[in-house]
Amino acid sequence: MATESDFKCLRCGHWFKTNYEKNKPEERTCPKCGSNSVRPMPEKKK
């Protein structure tokens, strides 16, 4: 089930929250710079 998780844009460094479901990838875009290099951050990194 999808839950809201932290993401970090590896292009501009922006952090944001969006829905995430493990092993269910989908097209994600950084709301700040528009890059797709958006990394779901593990729980411990919060």
Partner 1 sequence: MDVGRHPKINLLAYSEVEDISGYIGNFKVKVRKKARYVDEVECTSCDDCVDVCPVVVPKEHQLGLASRKAIYIPFPQAVPASYIIDEENCLGFNPIACGKCAEKCDKNCIDYDAKDEIVEFDVGSIIVASGLDVYDPTEFDEYGYTRFENVLTSMELEILTGPGGVTKGKLIRPTDRKVPKSIGFIQCVGSRCESRGTAYCSNICCMNTIKDTLLLREYYHDIDCKVFYMDIRAFGKGFEDFYRRSKALGVEYIRGIPGDIREDPKTKNLILSVENTTGNGIEEYELDMVVLSVGMVPRKDSNSINKLLTLQTTSDGLLMEVHPKLTPIDAPTAGVFFAGCCEAPKDIKDSVTQASGAAARAASILSKDKVKIPALTATVDDDLCKSCGICVKVCPYSAITIDMKAKEPAKIIEAACKGCGTCASECKFDAISMKHYNDAQIIAQIDAILEENPEEKVLVFACNWCSYPGADLVGISRMQYPTSSRIIRIMCTGRLDEKFILHALKLGAPIVLMSGCHPADCHYINASLKAQLRIEKLWNKLERKGIRPERVQFEWISASEVGKFVKTMEELEEFRKSVTKKEIEETKKILSKSKK
Chain residues in the site for partner 1 (CB under 8 A): 10-11, 23, 25-27, 33, 35-37, 39-40, 42
Tell me how far CA of residue 27 lies from CA of 3, 10, 30, in angstroms. Answer: 16, 15, 10
Give the shortest CB-9-to-partner 1 separation in angstroms.
10
Nearer to partner 1, 15 or 39 (CB): 39
Nearer to partner 1, 4 or 27 (CB): 27
**32 near 7, Cβ under 8 Å?**
no
Q: Give SS3 for 45.
A: helix
Query: Which residue type occupies 35?
Result: S
Give the shortest CB-46-to-partner 1 separation in angstroms.
15
